[in-house]
Structure 1
Amino acid sequence: MTTTPPSDGSGRSPGPEAGDASDFPILYEDNHLLGIVKPVNVPVQEDASGDPDLLTLLKEDLKRRYGKPGNVFLGLVHRLDRPVGGAMIFAKTSKGASRLSESVRSRSFRKLYFTVVHGAPASPSGRLKHWLLKDAKTNTVRAVRSGTPGAKEAILDYTVLGTEDGLSLLRIELLTGRSHQIRVQLSETGCPLYGDQKYGAALNKPGWQIALWSAVVGFPHPVAKEDVTLISLPPATYPWNQWPREVYQRAVRD
């Protein structure tokens, strides 16, 4: 089963002022799951900023839509960084949450992203492997040597879909799910993400929106067992609009 938003796939991206879950297009919903398009600049969970967070907004929306009293269960299965938008799946039952979390651990949970980077990788496609170490105090991640205490292996596959005006569009398949993984690994190769102030400040200007989008989330349904695929295409704004929509549509089908 494959689902896409009803329009161009981008959905609405209301940004940090978002305060209503009705702003978020629903990609998939049944008794166990809720799949939505996460807007950019909305935190997935409550953070120090105090801004409205996705998990709370979605719980309030479920409570309102279904007239549920008291607390509403909604399980967080995977995460996206605050500035990143695109497809996300949540579990509406504890059984769904447990089985989806197991899919993540067993790597049967598929995560495909689009990103725009400065420059171009040395090869048109390939696999990147790094060991990443997170500094919780600064919320930053860096690549370190294998065997460094606390470091975790990070693996991704990439394909260059096109290059325009010094920027390259990449299709990324995540094989592990480390914090800031795509951003750090590509920065390590000399191709920081467009708009990424944290790992590419030398090439990006303040105010540029990071060009990273969760395009495909795929997994076995936790109860029905059929394969579910959620698809969301990035908005038709710069730098995404440097490439025709057909490039994105073909890439999510491959």
Structure 2
Amino acid sequence: MQLPDAPEDEIEDLASADSDELYEHHRIQVDKGQALLRVDKFLMDRLPNVTRNKLQDAIKAESVRVNGKPTKASYKVKPLDVITVTLANPPRDTDVVPENIPLNIVYEDEELMMINKPAGMVVHPAYNNWSGTLVNGLVYYLQNLPTSRNGDIRPGLVHRIDKDTSGLLVIAKSEFAMTYLAKQFFDHTIERTYYAIVWGVPAQAKGTIVGHIGRSVKDRKVMAVYPEGDFGKPAVTHYQVLESFTYCSLIKCNLETGRTHQIRAHMKYLGHPLFNDATYGGDKILKGQQTGSYKAFVQNTFDLLPRQALHAKSLGFIHPTTQQFVFFESELPSDFVAALERWRQYGEVLQNRIQS
């Protein structure tokens, strides 16, 4: 089974390419509802690992074409345009190698599987992570995994969660199940609940965060919130504070949409980054005292939970064949529980000080 080449190294050395033969690396058909947008900005959002300089070099070298013709960076993409990236070097061979990786299967039938993914496991092979992924394990465990549409080969995957996020994933075992489940994700009828530890305590115990999410123009690895909706894709997150520890809090998030880094980006936008989320600034002390003992406490808690404090706790959806609503819930992993317990204890100490 083959995967498309990773975008990071596909616009690497255009000037030194010495082959007359070109190979198509990407073919993207613009959606019917796409608003007019410069082709360089459009591709920056679609090819997340490509820098602006590399993309501009590719356009200058006529390696980016619209409807078969070289384009300029200022060209405004139109609905149903076909954009291709063609380079002198062929796409790398990216066969998914089956690997005997232990999978925490919490449910399985003929149509689907529920996997409880541990933190640290990459879901899908990509740049710098061609092996050891969940997909490598799935290909080993299941020989005939379905793929999604539009040439994007994602064996069995209907959705994903980040490498350092733990929790539940539903895996489709048939083309019918993939289509049926994908429709529910598209219609936003899937019930998804995440638990997170965030810095500070939101002013409102319950709330909804609405703001388009797209890649930051300053850092392509980070998603930014665009509240005016002129960039990115619509995103809606409902949150509820479950526990308060004065300087941190445990929250529950229900996703109405499923954008890349949605909870992480939305919570930072709200002013409450996830605890120990290095990408979004949560790996520093953002609330609390600057005493040596407090700094030591936070660092020890970081050590217990060396990743962003985010867990995909539950999934609910209509089963493809029974047509019945099914609901799956997972326990919080040990590292999350350890950090949570430390904050509970610290919160109690703070409350006792205040009362005394």
Would the TM-score normalized by the shorter structure come out above 0.5?
Answer: yes
State which structure, 1 or 2, has the greater radius of gyration over its C-alpha atoms: 2
Identify the match of residue 62 of structure 1 among 142, 151, 156: 142
2:213 alignment counterpart = 132
- d(CA) in 2 for partners of 1:172, 1:194: 15
Identify the match of residue 161 of structure 2 among 74, 80, 84: 80
Identity %: 28
Corresponding residue SS for 2:208: strand
1:7 alignment counterpart = none
Cα distance per residue 1:165-184 (max 9 Å; x no partner):
51100011111111111001
Shift of 1:161: 0.6
Shift of 1:152: 1.3
- d(CA) in 2 for partners of 1:142, 1:105: 22
2:4 alignment counterpart = none
Q: For 1:1-254, what aligned pairs fall within 5 Å after superposition?
A: 20-22=100-102, 24-50=103-129, 51-63=131-143, 71-73=144-146, 74-135=155-216, 138-149=220-231, 151-164=232-245, 166-201=247-282, 203=284, 208-237=306-335, 238-242=338-342
**Aligned CA distance change for structure 1 residues 21 and 243 (closer, same or farther; 3 Å):** farther
Corresponding residue SS for 2:279: coil
CA contact (8 A) 1:116 1:194 kept: yes
TM-score when normalising by structure 1? 0.78
**Aligned CA distance change for structure 1 residues 201 and 120 (closer, same or farther; 3 Å):** closer
**Aligned CA distance change for structure 1 residues 40 and 135 (closer, same or farther; 3 Å):** same
- d(CA) in 1 for partners of 2:227, 2:206: 24
- d(CA) in 2 for partners of 1:121, 1:135: 24
Q: Which amino acid is the alignment partner of residue 127 of structure 1? A: T
CA contact (8 A) 2:199 2:249 kept: yes
TM-score when normalising by structure 2? 0.57
Q: Which amino acid is the alignment partner of residue 57 of structure 1? A: G
Superposition CA RMSD, Å: 2.2
Aligned residue pairs: how many? Answer: 217
Cα distance per residue 1:171-221 (max 9 Å; x no partner):
111111111110011011111001101112562678632110000011100
Unpaired runs of at least 5, structure 1: 1-18, 64-70, 245-254
CA contact (8 A) 1:36 1:88 kept: yes
- d(CA) in 1 for partners of 2:282, 2:310: 16
Q: Which stretch of structure 1 is more off in the superposition, 136-145 or 40-49?
A: 136-145
- d(CA) in 1 for partners of 2:122, 2:157: 13
CA contact (8 A) 2:275 2:283 kept: no
Shift of 1:236: 3.3
Shift of 1:104: 0.6
Unpaired runs of at least 5, structure 2: 1-98, 147-154, 286-298, 345-356
CA contact (8 A) 1:134 1:179 kept: no
